Amino acid sequence: MRKNIPSSISILFLFVFIFTSCTPPSPAPTATLAATFTPVATITPEPTASNTPLPTATALPAPERARYILNTSIDYDAHIVTVDETIYYPNHTGNQLNALVIAIVPNLWEGSFNLSGLSINSTPITTYNISGQRLDISLPSFFKPEEVMIINIQYTLNLPFAEQEDPSVSRPRIYGYTRRQLNLTNWYPFVVPYVNGDWVLHDPWYYGEHLVYDSADFEVNVKFADPANAPIVAASGVPEQQADSTRYTITAARTFALAASPEFQVSSLQVGDIIVASYYFPLSKIAGRAALQASAEALQIYSQKYGPYPHKTLSMVMGDFNDGMEYSAFFYLSRDFYSLYDETPANYLIFVAVHETSHQWWFDQVANDQAQQPWLDESLATYSELVYYETLHPDLVSWWWAYRIDFYNPQGFVDIPIYDGQGFRPYTNAAYFQGAHFLSELRARIGDDAFFEFIQDYLAQGRNKIMTTNDFFRILGEHTRTDTSDIVRQYFQNIY
């Protein structure tokens, strides 16, 4: 989810984004989390497909998810990344396939993506076309259901400078490098979801997110051109030191993200068997630790209210830009939130940190089409801010509603695509803040018990899947007989 922030406080009051809500319930007991801070170790025409089966390089049964292995070499100073990527892709579509669509998001920036090799099951592939972020591959023969395809891609990334434009006009770029850090986000080719006979890859837009991800397993091996002066790295997944590299692994994830900087300072908390780590720049230690504390608290609360957190690490990174974004077991927070932190929980840094933490449930575990139905994750993530405040800071619930939501007098239908938002503020007012009001009224109507039982079941049924608005209301109907049609008509433009 996007969170841009202007540099002045006066503009800040007019420029808030994201998140969900519900009506304030009875104040819950205040929870506490014992915090100790310890450093984290840096640790072309296409031929018609024949009926000949596509040879497979393995007779193993199809795995539950695709697996990505990325052997990655980074020249930090030259801003060059060289990758040898292997994708083990199981055909769980139920259909014979004679083509694949792979997203190559870095190709949206001229000269950033340079392909040097492409093969499938060890056979070089020449029948492909790259246009913008889309790689279309015509397969030499049919790819049958439940077979496994091995895709190997070699490429070099020339990282662009992530220039920061006016966030009210165009979203700042995260992918690339800034004066103080290198950011690898949506940096590797990935097979896009295949839904109802179509490959899902939407066009980017001025605001909001356009990509949709299947759940996958990742192994990313990272080494630096100058190991003696390697930067500090924050990444999705568990790090393991190898002879000349660091291996990161994460399972059942939507994405793999990495940030590196020689200036990062690190604090961490252990929550059960989960390491939560905060990466921040010098002079932001107090704010960096406050974001860490809030995220660790939120992780505990959401694990109790929704269901368990699935990974062993969670990293939050101070971005050298005025934007924030969630990835699997990883998220960015805008540098300006750190600058404006006033050492109280009634603060942008805190509610954005807990919002982003909740995306580990409503994005990573349960995905949705972020371009066509963005409300599904953004409304629930905004609502989760309120769950945090009513649990730990019930005295701030009214403040949260007034300052975070109603200050903007939100209007519009919740279920708009990003392309119909008519601007960043109208879009966030509808998908985020009206979504918060919808969930609030829904909870008040059906009661706390039914509401949270529904949310838990939505997580359980949607885990590792891509859910839709129809799924949301179908599962809701399994948990209440209360008539909510008037609320739905008020907030939604479509009938579900």
pLDDT of residue 13: 32
Mean pLDDT of the region 129-139: 97
Query: What's the angle, vertex CA 208, arms to CA 358 and CA 198, rounded to 5?
Result: 95
The confidence band for 167, taking pLDDT boundaries of 50, 70 and 90, is low
Q: Sign of dihedral through CA atoms 345, 346, 347, 350? A: positive
pLDDT of residue 80: 98
Query: Distance between CA 496 and CA 469 in Å, rounded?
Result: 7
3 state DSSP class of 368: strand
Residue 279's pLDDT is 98
Angle at 348 between CA 343 and CA 353, to 5 degrees: 95
Share of the chain above pLDDT 70, in %: 86
| pLDDT > 80? residue 119 | yes
Average confidence score pLDDT of the chain: 89
Which residues lie across from 241 on neighbouring strands?
Answer: 246
Q: pLDDT grade, residue 322 (50/70/90)? A: confident
β pairing state of 265-271 and 258-261: unpaired
Token pair belonging to 32: 């506490």
Q: Is 319 a residue whose pLDDT tops 80?
A: yes
Asked if the model's pLDDT at residue 7 lies above 70, the reply is no
- Asked whether the predicted pLDDT for residue 63 surpasses 80, the reply is yes
Res 53: pLDDT: 46
- The mean pLDDT of 320-345, rounded to a whole number, is 94
Q: Is the pLDDT of residue 141 over 80?
A: yes
Predicted confidence (pLDDT) per residue in 378-387, tens digit: 999 999 999 9
| pLDDT confidence of residue 140 | 86
Question: What's residue 168's pLDDT?
Answer: 59
Q: Where are the beta strands (DSSP E) in 91-147?
A: 97-103, 113-120, 123-124, 128-131, 134-143
pLDDT band at 289 (very low <50, low <70, confident <90, very high): very high
What integer is the mean pLDDT of 329-345? 96
Q: Is the pLDDT of residue 491 over 50?
A: yes
What's the pLDDT score for residue 162?
Answer: 87
Residue 27 confidence (pLDDT) above 80 = no
Using a pLDDT cut of 90, give the percent of the chain over it.
Answer: 82
Q: What is the DSSP string of 453-469?
A: HHHHHHHHHHTTEEE-H
> pLDDT tens, 206-260?
899 999 999 999 999 999 999 999 999 999 999 999 999 999 999 999 999 999 9
pLDDT in the model for residue 316: 98
Read off the pLDDT of residues 173-203 as tens digits, 9 standing for 90 and up: 799 999 999 999 999 999 999 999 999 999 9
Average pLDDT of span 325-350 = 96
Non-local (6+) Cβ contacts of 57 within 8 A are 121, 122, 150
State the Cα–Cα distance between residues 114 and 112, nearest whole angstrom.
7
Is the model's pLDDT at 361 over the cut of 50? yes
**Which one has a higher pLDDT value, 456 or 59?**
456
Per-residue pLDDT band for 166 (boundaries 50, 70, 90) equals low
